[in-house]
Structure formats: structure tokens, C-alpha cells
Amino acid sequence: MSELIDRLAELTGQRDRDVLDVTLVGALRDILGTVSVSIYRSIGEAGQERWLTRARLVGDSAAAEADPAWFELEDLPRLADHPVRLSALREDRVIAVRGATHHTLFPVSTDREVIGVLEIETARGITSRQRRTVSSILRIFRNFQGLLDYSERDTLTGLLNRKTFDESFLKATSA
């Protein structure tokens, strides 16, 4: 239980969204003992949406994989290329798929909509207790992202505040 609390404290201590996604998959990998954990976001115009890999940890790897910050949209996989992932996204429900390894897919939501999918690959599947734990962590993740959204924007204009704008600009120009 204390490991879970430590991981939640680490998760909510992040202010950078890229690091937040990596922290989430790292925490779930360590808590569940997974083969891999990935978080994917749906991006692009309606009808042209693609899967963007935000963070993926495989095995005991120390570094998470992710799609680069600058990419050609056409190089990313289409939503339809991964039908089970697409079902979890569109139907806003947890889906479990058994095979040589087990995949459990959780929708990732904001306060307004489902924006992506968390995919957990395990050797034996996850228990109902582990499923509840993941769902609870994702609710905390959603709430924390809502707080970040609120704190990064001017309440009158809805534009990024100066600090957030500066950080985003520096990140974009240094990539």
C-alpha cells in the first residue's frame, strides 16, 4: 500500500505533461509487474485521427519510448489500425483480450471527453482488484490533469498563462 501512495505522490508532483505520462506508465508497471504499459492519445482532425504514443515501457527498461514531438501525422498509425484500442476509446470502457499475453485497455479521459487509451500487457491478466486500482489511478490522473489545465490558462481569455506559454515555446524551439 505504501508503494502505491509513493507512486501517487510522485505522479501528482509532476507539472510537465510528458513526464506525467511517463510517470503514470512507470508507476503502473512497477505496481502490477507488467510485460508492458503504454499510453496512446488520439490526435488529428475528425476522420483522420491517428494514435500518438505518449509513453511506453517494456519489461525492465529504464527509459520510456514515445513518438517524437515533431512528426508527420501520416507516419502515425490510423485509429482503425488498432480496432480493440479504438473500441476502448469510442465505447469508453475497459476491454480485456486474452492471448499469449493478456492485454487490458482502459479509456483515458479528461473532464470533457475520452482522449486516449492505456494498454497494459501482462503474462496472466489482471485481477478485478488490480483493475479497480488502475481505474482509481486513472481517475486521480484525470483530476490532476484538470487541475493542470485550470492552472495553465487565464480564466478570462482561456489563453496559456505567461509561464506556461514560455515553457511551451522553449520546448518547441529546442526540439
Q: What's the CATH number where 53 sits?
A: 3.30.450.40
Q: How buried is residue 2: exposed, middle or buried, by Cβ count under 10 Å (0-12/13-18/19+)?
A: exposed
Q: Taking the model in full, what pTM does it have?
A: 0.82
Q: Which is more confidently placed, 63 or 77?
A: 77
Total structural domains within the chain: 1
Q: pLDDT, tens digit, for every residue of 55-70?
A: 999 988 888 888 887 7
Per-residue pLDDT at 148 = 76
Q: pLDDT, tens digit, for every residue of 2-25?
A: 776 777 767 666 666 778 898 899
Average pLDDT, the chain: 86
Phi and psi for 64 in degrees, rounded to 5?
-80, 145
What is residue 157's three-state secondary structure?
Answer: coil
Identify the domain containing residue 14 by its residue range. Answer: 2-174
For residue 89, CA distances in Å to 34, 63, 70, 96, 99 come to 21, 26, 24, 13, 21
